[in-house]
Amino acid sequence: MPLKTHLDEEPTLNLTAMLDVMFLLIIFFMLGTRFIDEERKIGLRVPEVVDRGALTAAPARKEVNVYRDGAITLDKATVTVDQLTTRLAAARRQYSDLGVLVRGDARGPFQNVATVLTACKQAGIRDLGITVRTMSGKEVPAAVRGATR
């Protein structure tokens, strides 16, 4: 059995590559900071303005209520179907993305709501919403529960 006559060298860590990377990062960040400072020292003054938002605020959605007896109100003023179409078209000419919210009486005929929706379409309204109220499962009438299953 051979015996060892010489001692093995102790392992050492070679940090050369890590030090090279650290020096490169330091140089990179030093140069990057220098460019930022030079950009601030340009002899140019940028005009200043006050930010007051949009020139005109977007109008609120128009509210159309359709009552059980067929009466129609536009923003709390009673109107006919022809007046509704005319007023919505005029408002749309002022603001092309005008929105309309239609609220119909649940106990009234749906035909009244359909007539109002058609009037909105004729006025060129594209942003149209219909308001409904959600009910819990206990409040749903039996006829509706049977139809949804």
Over the stretch 62-121, which tens digit does the pLDDT of each residue have?
A: 999 999 998 999 988 999 999 999 999 998 988 888 899 999 998 889 999 999 999 999
Q: What digits encode the pLDDT tens for the residues 7-39?
A: 777 778 888 889 999 999 999 888 777 666 566
State pTM to two decimals. Answer: 0.54
Q: Is 134 helix (H, G, I), strand (E, B) or coil?
A: coil
**Contact between residue 61 and residue 129 where contact means Cβ atoms under 8 Å apart:** yes
Q: What is the pLDDT of residue 141?
A: 59
Q: What is the dihedral of CA 74, 80, 84, 85, to 10 degrees?
A: 170
How many residues are present in the chain?
Answer: 149
- Structural domains in the chain plus CATH codes: 62-134 (3.30.420.270)
Indicate whether 54 pLDDT > 70.
Answer: no
Between CA 12 and CA 128 the distance in angstroms is: 75
